[in-house]
Amino acid sequence: MAETTGLDTPRVACVGAGNIGRSWAIAYAAGGAEVRLFDVSAAAVARALEFIDATADDLVAAGRLRSKELLLERIRGAGTVAAAVDGVQHIQESVSDDPAVKRRVFAELDALTPTSITIGSSAGEAPVSKFTEGLPGAGRCLLVHPVNPPHILRAVEICPTPWTERWAVLACKQLVESIGMVPIMLTREISGYAINRLQYALLGEALHLVGEGYCEPKDIDAAIKHGLGLRWAFLGPFETSHLNATQGYQEYMLTDEAGARRLMADVRAGYQWDHALIARIHDYLIQTMKSEDIVQHQQQRDRRLLGLMQHLQADTSAGVALDGQEAKSTRGVP
């Protein structure tokens, strides 16, 4: 089989219409794809389409879309999984992270579609091999995992299983690049992959610092919001370290190598937190973001992310290549 799939007009099925699935639908459609959205709950699809309609207004206001109507035309709900996957080149699975559920879904998707169609999982922790082993079409199954929300943020992890064929990896890489996203390529599986391992390393140490009384939850959030996170908005950790020393990365890491090794060994990413600590941090959070208002806070988050993306895109167009590449206009943005 050819190593790439024709992508003049990509057709994608998004299976699972929760927070990630509905966001994926926007990302694919904004990039020019025709999208069919399916969930075992018809109500979930209806809620997702309402969210997509409202979100399109924010995307237009932020300059990320020229036409709300064209975006909405590209996304259709499907009444059955068979209808959703009919005629597509790629399936994006975003169902429950329970491996048993994913196994059932992948088995059904594999049985319904020819093996020339790639099936990408949005799994955040479990290796895709855990629920695709032995499937007749296992060679076209792999991880295609976004940072939430994918309709705004651009990073997408792509990782093969031990039996994923090379053409499937290349096809998915080409697809996500065609919709303006940045592929993060992993060569082999590891639990949590790259993005969640980085995220949970920070969360573990944050729980350690609060749990052992070194600081309060608000201080951890302030350290990221007003410090580290501002640099990380346009620089990766290696780039940040490189610019933290006059002579670059080697000077930063080797000037006090022993101290760096001691601190890294002392970080408690595996801190054994208890439920009381989680409840304490939850109580701090709901003082300003009540649980019943999470959807509104998500919308506010997304609008602020859009504003930040606009700022970063302006910097890129002025000649600053923030991701190591020249800025590219998003293909097919309606």
3-state secondary structure 281-316: HHHHHCCCCCHHHHHHHHHHHHHHHHHHHHHHHHHH
Strands 155-160 and 141-146: antiparallel
pLDDT value at position 2?
Answer: 31
CATH topology of domain 195-288: N-(1-d-carboxylethyl)-l-norvaline Dehydrogenase; domain 2 (1.10.1040)
Phi and psi torsions of 184, nearest 5° = -105, 105
Cα–Cα distance between 289 and 64 in angstroms, integer? 27
CA angle 181, 120, 66 (to 5 degrees): 35
Taking 70 as the pLDDT cut, the residues of the chain under it are 1-7, 315-334
**Closest Cα partner for 255 from 276, 241, 275, 240?**
241
Q: What local confidence, expressed as pLDDT, does residue 330 receive?
A: 44
Q: What is the pTM of this model?
A: 0.88
Domain positions in the chain are 11-185, 195-288
Superfamily the domain 11-185 falls into:
NAD(P)-binding Rossmann-like Domain (3.40.50.720)
Q: What is the pLDDT of residue 333?
A: 54
Give the pLDDT confidence score for residue 322 in this predicted structure. 33
Q: Note the pLDDT of residue 315.
A: 60
Give the pLDDT score at 254: 96
pLDDT value, residue 6:
43
